[in-house]
Amino acid sequence: MSSSKLEKTISVYFDEETIFAIEKVARQRDISISTAAKMLLLERLSQMKAI
C-alpha cells in the first residue's frame, strides 16, 4: 500500500451480499468497514499490477 497522503473521497455502492462480506473482513481484522473496503480495493489493484 502506498504511504502517500489521501487526496480524494469516492462513494461506491455495493449490494447487500458484498457489504456483508466487507463487514465480515472488518470484524475479523477489528477495523472499520471503510478501512476494510479500502484495503481490499488496494490489495486487488496491487494484484492487477495497476498500482
Quickly list DSSP for 1-51. Answer: ---SPP---------HHHHHHHHHHHHHHT--HHHHHHHHHHHHHHHTT--
For residue 36, the tally of other CB atoms under 10 A from its CB is 19
Residue pair 29/37 in contact (Cβ under 8 Å)? The answer is no
- Can you say whether the dihedral through the CA atoms of 43, 47, 48, 51 is positive or negative? positive
Structural domain boundaries of the chain?
16-47
Grid cell at residue 17: 451480499
pLDDT score of 3: 61
- What is the per-residue pLDDT across 1-51, written as a single tens digit (0 to 9) for each? 556 687 899 999 999 999 999 999 999 999 999 999 999 999 999 999 999
pLDDT score of 33: 97
pLDDT score of 2: 56
pLDDT score of 6: 79
